[in-house]
Structure 1
Amino acid sequence: MGNQEQDTDASTARDRLRLLMTEFTTPARTDTSPRRTTPTPQAPVDLGVLDYTMKAAREIAALTYAAVPDADPPPADAAGVYQWAYEQTAQSGIEHRIARDTTVHRQALEHAIEMGDEDVLGREPCPGCACWSLFWQADLGKAICVNRNCVDLLGRPTTWTLRQLASRYVAAKYAARRNAT
């Protein structure tokens, strides 16, 4: 994959994670009752979002160390872990780079969904029918294709995990690069 594509993939994930960290860590105020005389103590940040962002950064760091055991330490800024991972694994084998790119793309999709931007799946073609007909199904934790002709063996709409979508996306990028040379 070329540097421009890497920069785009890494910056998309980085920007979405940074947005989560800056805009979505403020806890939602649940009690707006003016009658309460003593304030209910709350954490200064939304701990669920903070845990989510740290888990994402740890996953990228672990994947990087699996490819390059003597890699430099990751940056303190969780959002900076993506650029760090690309820099540290630039000379890794193709399998490690594909795994890295797949994880980064999957996380970029996850970050968007975590922020409530489920429309991001509309920019992913359905692996089953190649239509732009994917929608997020939160209760399943999967993307669902709404094309009536794209069904599984039981006649139900096809569903795809974010990992499957990311894997297809990265495989197509690597195939295009391989075929271009």
Structure 2
Amino acid sequence: MGDTAAAQRLRLLQAEFVQPTRSGPGDGRTPTRAHSTAPINLGVLQQIQAAVQEVETHTRAAAPEAGPFTDPRAERVYDWARQQTAHLDAERQQAREALIYRQSMEHALTTGDTSVVRRQPCPACGCWGLFWREAQHKAVCVNRYCTDEQGLARTWTLAHLAQQYIAERNSAAARAT
């Protein structure tokens, strides 16, 4: 995933997934509604607002001199965060990038794209056998030898996977130079 993946996925959420789900003509019978449905998908709208708020809060905590994010296009919050924190040390920039990467994976999962989890190696065994388990909101390793102390399959949060990915990407970049 490139640096613009999070913004592109957030833009996709706004453009396509905020719209209410449409159902086709049924069998001719429709229940009488007491209230009309919301004109947009409120769950996705709340996710977008929460993502912007989280990035803004994180950025202002790291760089108190940063002004508020005022752009009406939510996907620009990532560029704003990078501009406001470009002067910070590498550790804080890595934390920012891990937040953005995690949100990018969350946006993809909201659209139904679980392949973003499968593209991550298991932090414990290194195999490429991670799958998204929606009920737990965690990635699970399907390698039968990769278990925890209770003998259960290891699970990983998106935050952990994002931190590992960004740390490895930065380490590889440092070795390449």
Secondary structure of residue in 1 paired with 2:47 = helix
Return the alpha-carbon distance in structure 2 between the equivalents of residues 29 and 12 of structure 1.
27
How high is the sequence identity, in percent, across the aligned residues? 44
1:84 maps to 2:84: no
1:21 maps to 2:17: no
More deviation, 89-98/121-130: 89-98
| Structure 1 residue 38: Cα displacement | 6.8
More deviation, 89-98/22-31: 22-31
2:162 alignment partner in structure 1: 166
Aligned residues: 174
Return the alpha-carbon distance in structure 2 between the equivalents of residues 116 and 161 of structure 1.
17
Return the alpha-carbon distance in structure 1 between the equivalents of residues 32 and 117 of structure 2.
44
1:110 alignment partner in structure 2: 106
Relative to the length of structure 2, the TM-score reads 0.89
Return the alpha-carbon distance in structure 2 between the equivalents of residues 144 and 58 of structure 1.
28
Relative to the length of structure 1, the TM-score reads 0.88
1:124-163 alignment runs, 5 A limit: 124-163=120-159
Distance 1:32 1:52, change over 3 A: farther
Which residue of the other structure, out of 58, 69, 77, is the alignment partner of 2:53? 58
Return the alpha-carbon distance in structure 1 between the equivalents of residues 74 and 144 of structure 2.
41
Per-residue CA deviations over 1:75-134 (Å, capped at 9, x if unaligned) read: 221111011111111111223211101100110111111111112111111111111100
| Structure 1 residue 37: Cα displacement | 9.1
Secondary structure of residue in 2 paired with 1:144 = strand
Secondary structure of residue in 2 paired with 1:153 = coil
Return the alpha-carbon distance in structure 2 between the equivalents of residues 161 and 44 of structure 1.
33
Q: CA RMSD in A?
A: 2.1
1:49 maps to 2:40: no
Return the alpha-carbon distance in structure 2 between the equivalents of residues 70 and 43 of structure 1.
38
Segments of structure 1 that go 5 or more residues without pairing to the other structure are none
